[in-house]
Amino acid sequence: MQCYVFFDIQGSGKGTQAKFLSERTGFQHVNIGDLLREQVALDTELGNEVSRIIEVGDLVSDDVIYKLIGDSFCPGCKGVVFDGFPRNIAQAEFLMQHFEVKRVFFLNLDQEKAIARISSRRVCSSCGLNYNLVSDVPSKKGVCDDCGGKLVVRDDDKPAAIARRFKKFYKRTFALRDFFETRGLLSEVDASMGIEEVSAAINAIVDSISSN
Ligand code: AMP
């Protein structure tokens, strides 16, 4: 199956861009973080197993991630936009073995800007819908437009967890940049631009691949 991949420093907007690309290509958007949080919200066995790991900003085990991915495809799905996978080299090797990787987008953003963006994120404590106090503001302050639930800061967006996630990012995930660059699959996009500009840059790359 064909796929596009997004990875980034947290806060650079991969979720938004992955969603745009999924709508444009008709590929299924697979957001691993959301799938994990859904399990936690549903209070499943898997959710209980991973909730503490997510809360402290550690990585969930590779086997759990592979199972989640295997279970996530819609029938007739023609391709996938991965958002938050892979996050280490073992996962990248798994990806290369099981998927035809069209392009890997690394959304680059300096750490200070990333922290500023993360601190404006909110999530509905009831249905899990994401908001941003700058770019995706709820109609009523602190309340979910969809279900009326209370908007809260994600546990893993709190300062101590953010610091740990950045450390993990630099330790493990950054190596992905070299991994995909060596294989000629990497496109680095400056994520400090506005949402529309980042999206246009991604679309131009996708179009140039398709026309080759
Ligand atoms: P995200 O919403 O992408 O920032 O993901 C939230 C959390 O889910 C991460 O901090 C990890 O704990 C976990 N997670 C998401 N994707 C992966 C992955 N590919 N491998 C391991 N853990 C993951």
pLDDT above 70 (res 212): no
User: 27-42, pLDDT tens digit by residue?
Assistant: 999 999 889 988 998 9
pLDDT above 70 (res 148): yes
Give the pLDDT of residue 102. 97
Position in ligand 1 atom list of the atom nearest CA 34: 2
Give the pair of three-digit tokens for residue 131.
């908001």
Q: For atom 14 of ligand 1, which residue has the closest CA?
A: 33
User: 1-14, pLDDT tens digit by residue?
Assistant: 999 999 877 778 88
pLDDT above 90 (res 50): yes
Give the pLDDT of residue 140. 96
Cα(17)–Cα(3) distance, integer angstroms: 14
Position in ligand 1 atom list of the atom nearest CA 31: 3
Residue located via tokens 């209070």: 43
In terms of pLDDT, which residue wins out, 72 or 169? 72
Q: Is the CB of 59 under 6 A from ligand 1?
A: yes
Mapped onto helix, strand or coil, the DSSP state of residue 150 is strand
String of DSSP letters for 44-62: -HHHHHHHHHHHHTPPPPH
Q: Is the CB of 87 under 6 A from ligand 1?
A: yes
H or E stretch covering 145: none
Strands 100-108 vs 151-152: parallel, antiparallel or unpaired? unpaired
The mean pLDDT of 48-72, rounded to a whole number, is 90
Mapped onto helix, strand or coil, the DSSP state of residue 68 is helix
Position in ligand 1 atom list of the atom nearest CA 14: 3
Strands 28-31 vs 2-8: parallel, antiparallel or unpaired? unpaired
Identify which of 32, 30, 26 has the alpha carbon closest to the alpha carbon of residue 46. 32
In terms of pLDDT, which residue wins out, 165 or 72? 72
pLDDT classification of 22: cutoffs 50, 70, 90: very high
Q: Among 156, 169, 176, which residue has the most ligand 1 atoms within 8 Å of its CB, making it the best to mutate? A: 156
Identify which of 191, 65, 47, 70 has the alpha carbon closest to the alpha carbon of residue 128. 47
The mean predicted confidence, pLDDT, of the chain is 90
**Could you give the dihedral angle defined by the CA atoms of residues 95, 96, 100 and 104, in that order, rounded to the nearest 10 degrees?**
80
Q: Is the CB of 40 under 6 A from ligand 1?
A: no
Q: Among 36, 62, 104, 107, which residue has the most ligand 1 atoms within 8 Å of its CB, making it the best to mutate? A: 36
Instruction: Report the predicted TM-score, pTM, of the whole model to 2 decimal places.
Output: 0.82
User: 65-119, pLDDT tens digit by residue?
Assistant: 999 999 988 888 889 999 989 999 999 999 999 999 999 999 988 888 888 888 8
Q: Is the CB of 123 under 6 A from ligand 1?
A: no
pLDDT classification of 209: cutoffs 50, 70, 90: confident
Q: Say what percent of the chain tops pLDDT 90.
A: 60
